[in-house]
Amino acid sequence: MHSTYNPVYRPSELHESFLTGDFLELMAKKSPDYPYERIGLDRFIAILIDMQEANILPPATLLDIGSNTGFFSQLFALSGYTVTAIDNEAAPQVQGHYPCSLRAIAESQNTELHLETIQFCWTDARKWIAQTQQNHVVSLLLSVVHQWFNGYAGSDSEKTPKKDILTFLENVIRKTEKIIYFETPVRHINGLDCGLDLVAWFTQQPLVKSINNVSHSLDADGEFREIYRIQLHT
């Protein structure tokens, strides 16, 4: 059984499914190898619909933090959005899910898809967000932050002090104009494992207007993860 969070698609089959809108067929083809909902298309569709209902339309800018293989970045770019994708490739080095580097996978697929509206930044998101002068209309934080409390895959890799994580989140809020989509395991919502209720923390931030549940998915162990829309004051 594979436990990759985002399967590696052939760009041709992803592009064909995108053009025809027949994502269900693509999901069905992948389901024997990826038995959970975390094949990603469900989350992309839920977020895309929510963005459109919020009148956030192409070519609005989107920041994909922890972009992994570029799966979400590519789908949003295919939808017409302008995307900045950030990943330091630390997680797969510990988890060992992928046959080669994320950078090789992402850039190869991006070349084949002829996408010119993605900027890949292979660097540490915590440092990048602190230094950048760029703002984005939307930011994605899909199952990234909780891994820093205890390190990727339960290791000490990328383990980060709580105060530095909160500084990072404050920077993301300041550099996002309208919405942050935040995904985290259910056990982290009530403070288990990390000692901090992340959703409650967001509600206390002065720039946060509201928080609503958008969707949920399952992780590689079959545990629920919730996706929240964090609406900011504009």
DSSP states of 189-222 as a string?
Answer: HTTTTTSS-HHHHHHTSTTEEEEEEEEEEE-TTS
In-domain check, residue 29? yes
| Tally of domains within the chain | 1
Alpha carbons 6 and 225: distance in angstroms, whole number: 15
- Judge whether 47 and 83 are in contact, CB under 8 Å: no
Task: Look at residues 199, 190, 187 and name the one whose alpha carbon lies nearest to residue 228.
Answer: 199
User: Could you tell me the CA-to-CA distances from 14 to 27, 99, 114 in Å, in that order?
Assistant: 10, 19, 13
Looking at residue 77, its pLDDT comes to 93
User: Coil, strand, or helix at residue 6?
Assistant: coil
List of residues 6+ apart from 59 with CB closer than 8 A: 80, 81, 82, 117
Task: Look at residues 95, 79, 81 and name the one whose alpha carbon lies nearest to residue 3.
Answer: 95
* pTM (predicted TM-score): 0.84
The encoded tokens of residue 130 equal 């602190």
The DSSP line for 133-192 is ---EEEEEEES-THHHHH-GGGSSTT---HHHHHHHHHHHHHTEEEEEEEEEEHHHHTTT
In-domain check, residue 93? yes
CA dihedral (43, 220, 36, 28) positive or negative: positive
Looking at residue 162, its pLDDT comes to 87
Looking at residue 1, its pLDDT comes to 30
The CATH number given to whatever domain includes residue 133 is 3.40.50.150
Rounded mean pLDDT for each run of 10 residues along the chain, 234 residues in total: 47 62 60 50 86 96 92 90 92 65 84 90 94 96 83 72 92 98 75 72 96 80 82 92
In-domain check, residue 6? no
In-domain check, residue 35? yes
In-domain check, residue 5? no
Q: Which domain, by its residues, includes 70?
A: 11-232
Looking at residue 31, its pLDDT comes to 52
Looking at residue 35, its pLDDT comes to 47
User: Could you tell me the CA-to-CA distances from 107 to 110, 121, 144, 224 in Å, in that order?
Assistant: 5, 11, 21, 31
